[in-house]
Structure 1
Amino acid sequence: MATDPPVIVDLSRLDANIHRFHRATAAAGCQVRAHVKAHRTVELAQRQVAAGAAGVAVHTASAAVQLAAAGVRDIVLAWPWPDAWRFPLFAEAATQVPRFALHVDRPEAITGIGAAATARGTEVGVRIDLRHAPAEAVPALAKLAVDTPGIRFDGIAGYSPTATAEEIRDRHDVGRRHARSVVAVAEALRDVGIDCPVVSIGGTPTAPGALGVDGVTEICAGAYATLDGGLAAAAACRPDDVALTVAADATDLLDGCAQPWDPAVASLPAAPPYQGRLVPAHICPLAANVLKRGVEIAVVVNGEQVAAWRPFAAPDRV
């Protein structure tokens, strides 16, 4: 290319990563939910759904509405916001997203969202967020969700981050142990007569371990499409699988891009044919930095730019 764009995504690598992850997940009898936090672009979310993802995960109602307008039909808001001012926004999103659900971790959220949904003549799915809800509260929360008008109880969701060098090294065992614990919660709910359709496990690094556990129905992952330097350094992928690179003179985009398990390293050298460029150690902060800078992501095939993607901002309150 005549110029060196600040950010490049290699479409061939991107598609190969998506299809590889989707095939592995489907072979285990699970679905993929693509978390947009790793890229924050409508175009890549559409690409993931077209390649077989059941739907996407977002962090705001506004993002859900924006992606629904772009044709995404199944969206989960994967954060248990407790703020009452958000509840009408969630209910409004449910009128625009064909299948909408969100994470909850407390009874006030279930009843508040249910009331807002009922007032709008709609229904909001909820998943109990096991990372934030106290374990002893889960049965009562599930029962409340089942009994609350305007609420559809979808199931449970768990996420076990890899925060240390030891955890990333043992990521398959971490994923397996965590998935077993989440499946046990689902089984306990069924034992007391509560149907638990969805058992969702989060995280790209731990996904291979989670996929070996019977009872997991969904993998919610963000980094699997682009991958990043941290995953390559941990041997979770090959260096030439990483689909996104940053120009050497745009290192401000790499601020805050260190992985928790290796906080001293924010970037690594890119693999051929992108010598001289860098890859982020952690892809998710890069997406936020690209958004702040207002730069485009150059989409490249065989060295030629074929498109440009711009990350979107979708806060629920400005």
Structure 2
Amino acid sequence: MPAVPVTVDARQLDRNIQRFHQQVADAGCVTRAHQKAHRTIELATRQVLAGAAGIAVHSAQAARDLAAAGVTDVVVAWPWREPWRWPLYVSAAAELEHFAVHVDEAESITGLGRAAAAAGLQIGVRIDLRHTPAAEVLPLARLADATAGVRLDGVTGYHGPETAEDIKDFALLGRRHAEHLVGVAASIRAEGIDCPVVSAGGTPTAAGALGVEGITEIVAGAYATLDAGLAAAGACDLAEVAISVAGDHADLLVDCAQPWDPGSVAVPLHGRLLPGHICPLARNLMRGKVEITVVDGGVPVDRWLPQGRPDRE
């Protein structure tokens, strides 16, 4: 019988989740699990049940799918700019207790505000510092504070390891980026504007970010399954990687190299392959409609189908 293409070890998965959530909680912060690392509703709800404050997604449709599964707090973690998305965000907000989106330009704030106010709703906006020039941050914060239909949820950013030099000290990278986020939030508050959330992203950089006073949230995706790239970087052990691919399905690992190690897409372990980078694998599974078999003590107990419906005009 052919090997199961992709398996997740439920016990290791839960150990990884519990350890990461505890690390974040011990620092006085909350975890927001990013769905991009697995693209399954089942694992997202598992993370929430285990203590994640909410989920990060890339579309309003993904937010609505999670709402239907009982998740109450979702953030669209990409600053989409197309006006046709505003009504989709309003529909998602109507189904969730807390809904916010990333923004990086004035037109997104005013357009979303008009759509939300017309529906009698208020949607959170997070200024995405990855894409916002420094000179525009305070004007955007003032605009969000003054615009009906939106509220300034806070600031957010992500600076993951991209080079071999970055990965040498990923904790330092996380700390420096977190310090920048906290400084920007302080400048907004100095204007008399509430800025409740200061959100830093990343599984390997979380340890550094958590050492910075003022960070309130960690957005991370890979922490549940982990991957061989994180193990090679020293962020975990190979034995802690909870997901594997059968050797005769290596085609699922196309593009699964970490940016700091483009030559490695998989590591063999116990007759199977551990992905070098979990996020491309999740994308490949979604595109190929390949299920993940969940095993507990070696026994299959569930099947998850990665999905992540994009928004369409």
TM-score normalized with structure 2 length: 0.99
2:306 aligned partner: 311
User: Residue by residue, what CA displacement relative to the aligned partner does 1:104-156 show, whole Å, maximum 9, x if unpaired?
Assistant: 00000000000111121111100000000111111110110011010011100
Report the alpha carbon displacement of residue 191 of structure 1 after superposing the two structures with TM. Answer: 1.1
User: Residue by residue, what CA displacement relative to the aligned partner does 1:91-110 show, whole Å, maximum 9, x if unpaired?
Assistant: 11111112100100000000
Question: SS state of the match for residue 248, structure 2?
Answer: coil
1:173 aligned partner: 172
1:9 aligned partner: 8
Counterpart CA distance in 2 for 1:45 and 1:64 is 11
Q: Give 1:166-245 correspondences, 5 Å limit.
A: 166-245=165-244
Are 1:297 and 2:296 matched, yes or no?
Answer: no
Matched AA of 2:44: A
Q: Is the 8 A contact 1:17 1:226 kept in 2?
A: yes
Matched AA of 2:60: A
Counterpart CA distance in 1 for 2:97 and 2:194 is 22
User: Residue by residue, what CA displacement relative to the aligned partner does 1:238-288 show, whole Å, maximum 9, x if unpaired?
Assistant: 000000000000011000101000001111113xxxx11001100000001
1:39 aligned partner: 38
Matched AA of 2:298: G
User: Residue by residue, what CA displacement relative to the aligned partner does 1:159-191 show, whole Å, maximum 9, x if unpaired?
Assistant: 112100110111010001110011000111111
Gaps of at least 5 residues in structure 1 are none
Q: Is the 8 A contact 1:160 1:178 kept in 2?
A: yes
Q: Is the 8 A contact 1:75 1:97 kept in 2?
A: yes
* Stretch moving more, 5-14 or 118-127: 118-127
Q: Is the 8 A contact 1:123 1:150 kept in 2?
A: yes
Identity of aligned residues (%): 59
Report the alpha carbon displacement of residue 3 of structure 1 after superposing the two structures with TM. Answer: 5.0
Question: SS state of the match for residue 139, structure 1?
Answer: helix
Counterpart CA distance in 2 for 1:149 and 1:16 is 43
1:91 aligned partner: 90
Q: Is the 8 A contact 1:33 1:57 kept in 2?
A: yes
Are 1:151 and 2:146 matched, yes or no?
Answer: no
Q: How many residues matched? A: 313
Matched AA of 1:175: G
Counterpart CA distance in 2 for 1:120 and 1:78 is 22
Q: Give 1:77-156 correspondences, 5 Å limit.
A: 77-156=76-155
Report the alpha carbon displacement of residue 228 of structure 1 after superposing the two structures with TM. Answer: 0.3
2:53 aligned partner: 54
Are 1:66 and 2:61 matched, yes or no?
Answer: no
Matched AA of 2:309: A
Please identify runs of 4+ aligned residues in structure 1 that moved more than 4 A: none
Q: Is the 8 A contact 1:25 1:32 kept in 2?
A: yes
TM-score normalized with structure 1 length: 0.97
Gaps of at least 5 residues in structure 2 are none
